[in-house]
């Protein structure tokens, strides 16, 4: 018979454990939700400082207003109010490479750039690495993930704040340091000054916290789940989904079919 | 032109606000994730005590081991590792009426029973209401939501703990009181003693916190999102999804089609 | 060891069967897709006439333009183009009780009304049942599912056509007959003439085909999957999702939070 | 005001059109479901032969027994029976890069290999291209998508059948020809004989039909939607999902947490 090992939730007739602890006695009432999410993902209980940085990231990503994820969750709730799980799932499905992706892309990019490098001792050393990194991306005609923002062109207010919180907690690690250096040196290479994206700095911070690289997007999605519940709660009290639907449907224009003759057609 | 009002996330070139506050200055680093989720859902910042009860509920519901939601998330990640959002969404879609539903069902049931009633002054008064409620359900041949547990037959360890935490915080409201009274009196009506379900007491506590009744299931899903990330993280390090798939597929038995002749066939 | 019986797909090193038939030899190239979908759902191969009625229903439900499901699929594809499965899944999640529900609601309603009744011999007999049914709904202050349409107020063009096709194939069964009778008699009871909804008549036809009542919504979703692929293909060639997103986001209006004080607050 | 052009479904008070045709008169009862799905995706009505090849592909991909998608749909239906749309969506979310991906991967791979090439006049010419292609993949230490099958090691029965159907309809285009040539020549390069995968040949056939390359996975998902409805229908009559869940849950083994110390931990 196969066996399925797990360190997560388990129960017997009389006990319930989570991560090897008695759920009722040692977790409930003792462990905050951000702390627990970190613990579940790493099987290691975070320090108070780690929890504060992690929760600051979750706050930064929880809700960005009428994004595709929010619109989608509201429209789905309009269509299928019997299934709150469907509305949340539909919203999360928009958390892919384009809209929530910069957190993951930036964290992974920094991580790859750091692989196998000797970590420098001071800002000058970080600047040298950053110059090399930005120049290589430019050479390859690729963007630097996390550099630039389509709205906050003069600076994303989340960025300096997250650096500050990480510094206060002694958790400014190599990913954040490299990202800061990229912010300092990129104008020399690119000839213009771009802001460090707030969702990008979140990826750097999550990477410095040692969270699994493959799941960085998952933490953005966890934050967004709380935001989507907020969207649905607001939709319940002050509905707009039907107006959104009608504003699209009323402005549809029938055009003749445009036959697709194939791949080069 | 239509307008879409919202009190959630909003941004201009220079500012980002959330719930009317400056996100970077007043929320990041200041507000825990459970607290923020409550705030997003109610547009009211919870007290410390409310946050503690709310986070105790989330801890109680975060992960219950190899549930259908967990198995589904792992199998989906196995099949489509490019889409973490798909694995989480698939897992959440199992958070419906049967597996995560008792939280919502119990909260709603208690809420309906309280509607229009004068709240009693003491336990004796609560017992009288509970007797009436349990007797009416029995009469109608319906179960009392939240009464009974298929594993924890002698008592769910989460239940007394959540009552205790709520009491410590002065937040044992009418839903919890009625649920406790149901626990005391039901043997008189049903002739047997059943445990108060831990997921059920979570519904009572969420209702006492004043969270939107239509979204009670949403909070169970928020908790489970953290649990599912834990499941995927464990799957990455100690994979079992392929074994689960193969154990089902290898034990399939081909049988002849059984024609379905229609509704009474 | 558990065993999992199935009459659906199975394979060995040398063979692949589906529904007890050799897939390559007996199904591929021989069985149309609508026919196969019917066969998979009922484990009974449909007649040519049944297939024609079934495919007419699927055509009637495949695409209704910029519905919430279509908008959602396009927005999700915009956000997460790496996951076509996510865009389709998100679209289908809007296929719930409100937007695709009338097919299921109407089919189930007619089925419940027919339960235990002697089927009449002529239109007069059907009219008598229909009068009883409509009067009972009116008495209970409930709508008759499938009666009325918010756009096609003078008649839904799909309705007479589906009756015609079913009649041509000799497949106008009791559900369609009762629905037709409701169309004839309801003005006597309600004092106004309402159209028979095209999605409703689809439910009646699916019920007459003997498809599983619990899955009627599933056939609407199958039809819609084809429609959503059409939506995504059109989005690829003539994109509108970003315009939809921006038209909502640009018209957002920040309002102060409106604290939700609880259930009666 | 924005405008949203579409050639898909549209309606006025009196008319419903689809792809520029009167839905009731010209589509319902006249157009099969596979034909309609092709038409929706390309805005071009397929020929009878194209429809036959397309439907043969859909048949080949509709159901493969207890795959992760099927298990997931059944488990989700067990947990949330109120949401058929959720069960189907959860199943489709497993249709990603690993389990349904070979159709898309193979079609895209062949398409990329053909880009910019002069098409040869005979099998000898195709063999020369195929040799070059297989050798280049080998050189780059990459697999040839669609070559090999983990079960049908001596040949996938779907492969010769789909070639045959395409040939009968005069629709064996460059993608199928190149794939056939790869089947002939790869032993010379790889030193062993591998079967041409049936899901891979489906990708070649879809590419030859001129369907949009970005949505090849979508057609596998359309086929699978029909299969998943079959799975849910079988689950309703002969349920196994609860046994699957219990067989996993009963064989869980609690292990101590294994702290994840970070990316190199």
Give the confidence band of C26 by pLDDT, cuts at 50, 70, 90: very high
Apex C52 CA angle, C50 and C54, nearest 5: 70
Q: Of the ranges A194-198, B209-213, D151-155, D225-229, which one carries the lowest mean pLDDT score?
A: D151-155
Rg, C-alpha atoms of chain D: 22
Q: How far apart are CA D142 and CA B235, in angstroms?
A: 26
The answer to whether the CB atoms of B254 and C7 lie below 8 A apart is yes
Which residue in B71, B249, B260 is closest to D75 by CB distance? B71
Distance from CA of A71 to the nearest CA of D (A): 17
Give the confidence band of D264 by pLDDT, cuts at 50, 70, 90: low
Residue B73 near residue B231 (C-beta atoms within 8 A): yes
Distance from CA of B206 to the nearest CA of C (A): 10
Query: Residue range A161-174: average pLDDT?
Result: 98
Element containing residue B6 per DSSP (H, E): strand B4-6
Residues C125, C130, C133, C135, CA torsion sign = negative
Where helices occur in D3-152 by DSSP H, the ranges are: 33-42, 48-61, 68-79, 84-93, 101-114, 123-139
Q: Evaluate if residue C265 carries a pLDDT over 80.
A: no
Query: Residue range C18-34: average pLDDT?
Result: 97
Query: Residue range B206-222: average pLDDT?
Result: 96
A39-98: per-residue pLDDT in tens? 999 999 999 999 999 999 999 999 999 999 999 999 999 999 989 999 999 999 999 888
Q: Evaluate if residue B48 carries a pLDDT over 80.
A: yes
Q: How far apart are CA B20 and CA A65, in angstroms?
A: 12
B253 to chain C: nearest residue by CA?
A: C5
Strands of chain A, DSSP E: 4-6, 10-11, 16-18, 21-22, 252-254
Q: Of the ranges B38-47, B81-90, B95-104, D232-241, which one carries the lowest mean pLDDT score?
A: B95-104
Q: Evaluate if residue C222 carries a pLDDT over 50.
A: yes
A236 to chain C: nearest residue by CA?
A: C260
A89 to chain D: nearest residue by CA?
A: D86
Q: How far apart are CA A102 and CA A106, in angstroms?
A: 6
Residue C107 CB neighbour total at 10 angstroms: 29
Using a CB-CB cut-off of 8 Å, the residues of chain B touching D74 are none
Which residue in B65, B245, B258 is closest to D68 by CB distance? B245
The ipTM value here is: 0.96
Chain CA centroid to CA B200, Å = 8
The answer to whether the CB atoms of A80 and C95 lie below 8 A apart is yes
Mark out chain C residues that contact chain B at CB-CB < 8 A.
Answer: 1-7, 10, 17, 19-20, 41-44, 80, 82-83, 85-86, 89, 111, 207, 210, 212-213, 248, 251-263, 265
CA distances from residue B19 to A231, B22, C248, C259 in whole angstroms, order as listed: 12, 9, 19, 10
Query: Residue range C94-101: average pLDDT?
Result: 86
Q: How far apart are CA A202 and CA A219, in angstroms?
A: 10
Neighbours of chain A (3+ CB pairs under 8 A): B, C, D
Mark out chain B residues that contact chain C at CB-CB < 8 A.
Answer: 1-7, 10, 17, 19-20, 41-44, 80, 82-83, 85-86, 89, 111, 207, 210, 212-213, 248, 251-263, 265
- CA-wise closest residue to D216 among D95, D83, D51, D91: D95
Q: Evaluate if residue B265 carries a pLDDT over 50.
A: no
Residue labelled with tokens 């349990």 = B134
- CA-wise closest residue to B85 among A99, A76, A235: A99
What is the reported pLDDT for A178? 98
Q: Residue D176 has which token pair? A: 């199928």
Under DSSP, is residue A253 helix (H, G, I), strand (E, B) or coil?
A: strand
A214-259: per-residue pLDDT in tens? 999 999 999 999 999 999 999 999 999 999 999 999 999 999 999 9
B155-174: per-residue pLDDT in tens? 999 999 999 999 999 999 99
Using a CB-CB cut-off of 8 Å, the residues of chain D touching C62 are 9, 18, 36-37, 40
Mark out chain C residues that contact chain A at CB-CB < 8 A.
Answer: 1, 65-69, 71-72, 75-76, 78-83, 86-87, 89-90, 93-100, 233, 237-238, 241, 244-245, 247-249, 252, 258, 260
Give the confidence band of A1 by pLDDT, cuts at 50, 70, 90: confident
The answer to whether the CB atoms of A263 and D42 lie below 8 A apart is no
Residue labelled with tokens 């349920």 = D239
Query: Residue range D215-220: average pLDDT?
Result: 96
The answer to whether the CB atoms of B65 and D89 lie below 8 A apart is no
C5 to chain B: nearest residue by CA?
A: B253
Q: Evaluate if residue A263 carries a pLDDT over 90.
A: no
Q: How far apart are CA B247 and CA B250, in angstroms?
A: 5
Give the confidence band of C264 by pLDDT, cuts at 50, 70, 90: low
Residue labelled with tokens 């067990």 = D78
- To the nearest whole percent, how much of chain D has pLDDT over 70? 99
For residue B18, list its beta bridge partners: B21
Under DSSP, is residue C16 helix (H, G, I), strand (E, B) or coil?
A: strand
Residue labelled with tokens 């994730």 = B33
Residue B144 near residue B134 (C-beta atoms within 8 A): yes
What is the reported pLDDT for B150? 87
Rounded to the nearest integer, the mean pLDDT of chain D is 95
C123-180: per-residue pLDDT in tens? 999 999 999 999 999 999 999 999 999 889 999 999 999 999 999 999 999 999 999 9
Element containing residue C229 per DSSP (H, E): helix C216-237
Cβ-in-10-Å burial (0-12, 13-18, 19+) of D265 comes to exposed
C65 dihedral zone (left: phi>0; alpha: psi -120 to 50; beta): left
What is the reported pLDDT for C179? 98
For residue C259, list its beta bridge partners: none
Q: Residue D184 has which token pair? A: 């002939």
Q: Evaluate if residue B109 carries a pLDDT over 50.
A: yes
Q: Evaluate if residue B201 carries a pLDDT over 80.
A: yes
Q: Does domain B101-213 have CATH number 1.10.357.10?
A: no
- Write the class of the CATH domain D101-212: mainly alpha
Residue C115 near residue C178 (C-beta atoms within 8 A): no
- CA-wise closest residue to A147 among A204, A197, A190: A197
Interaxial angle between packed helices D216-237 and C216-237, expressed in degrees from 0 to 180 and rounded to the nearest 10: 170
Interaxial angle between packed helices C68-79 and C241-249, expressed in degrees from 0 to 180 and rounded to the nearest 10: 100
- To the nearest whole percent, how much of chain C has pLDDT over 70? 99
Q: How far apart are CA D14 and CA C157, in angstroms?
A: 7
Domain ranges of chain B: 16-46, 101-213
Under DSSP, is residue B147 helix (H, G, I), strand (E, B) or coil?
A: strand
Which residue in B72, B82, B247 is closest to D76 by CB distance? B72
Beta-sheet pairing, C16-18 with C10-11: antiparallel
Query: Residue range D86-101: average pLDDT?
Result: 92
Which residue in D64, D151, D221 is closest to C88 by CB distance? D221
Q: How far apart are CA C118 and CA C115, in angstroms?
A: 9
Q: How far apart are CA A219 and CA D65, in angstroms?
A: 34
Best mutation target among B90, B252, B256, B258 (most C Cβ atoms within 10 Å) is B252
What is the reported pLDDT for A97? 83
Percent helix, strand and coil across chain C, each rounded to 5? Answer: 60, 5, 35
Query: Residue range B223-227: average pLDDT?
Result: 98
Give the confidence band of B261 by pLDDT, cuts at 50, 70, 90: confident
Residue C143 near residue C197 (C-beta atoms within 8 A): no
Residue D80 near residue B98 (C-beta atoms within 8 A): yes
What is the reported pLDDT for A265? 39
Q: Evaluate if residue C14 carries a pLDDT over 60.
A: yes
The answer to whether the CB atoms of C89 and B89 lie below 8 A apart is yes
Q: How far apart are CA A189 and CA B129, in angstroms?
A: 75
Instruction: Tell me which DSSP letter residue B46 carries.
Output: P
Residue C49 near residue D81 (C-beta atoms within 8 A): no
Distance from CA of C198 to the nearest CA of A (A): 18
């Amino acid at each position: 018979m196969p066996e399925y090992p797990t360190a997560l939730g388990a129960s017997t007739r009389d006990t319930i454990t989570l991560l090897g602890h008695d759920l009722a006695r040692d977790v409930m009432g003792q462990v905050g939700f951000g702390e627990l999410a970190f613990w579940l993902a790493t099987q290691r209980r975070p320090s108070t400082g780690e929890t504060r940085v992690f929760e600051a990231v979750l706050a930064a990503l929880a809700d960005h207003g009428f994004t595709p994820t929010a619109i989608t969750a509201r429209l789905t709730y309009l269509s299928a109010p019997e299934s709150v799980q469907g509305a949340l799932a539909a919203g999360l499905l928009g958390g892919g490479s384009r809209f929530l992706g910069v957190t993951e892309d930036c964290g992974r990019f920094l991580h790859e750039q750091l692989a196998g490098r000797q970590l420098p001792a001071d800002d000058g050393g970080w600047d040298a690495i950053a110059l090399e990194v930005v120049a290589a991306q430019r050479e390859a005609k690729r963007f630097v993930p996390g550099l630039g923002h389509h709205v906050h062109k003069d600076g994303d207010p989340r960025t300096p704040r997250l650096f500050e919180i990480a510094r206060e907690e002694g958790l400014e690690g190599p990913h954040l340091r490299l990202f800061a250096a990229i912010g300092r040196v990129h104008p020399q290479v690119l000839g213009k000054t771009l802001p460090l994206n707030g969702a990008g700095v979140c990826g750097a911070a999550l990477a410095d916290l040692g969270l699994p690289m493959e799941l960085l997007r998952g933490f953005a999605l966890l934050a967004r789940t709380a935001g989507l519940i907020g969207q649905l709660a607001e939709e319940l009290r002050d509905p707009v989904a039907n107006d959104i639907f009608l504003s699209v449907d009323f402005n549809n224009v029938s055009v003749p079919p445009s036959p697709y003759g194939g791949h080069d057609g």
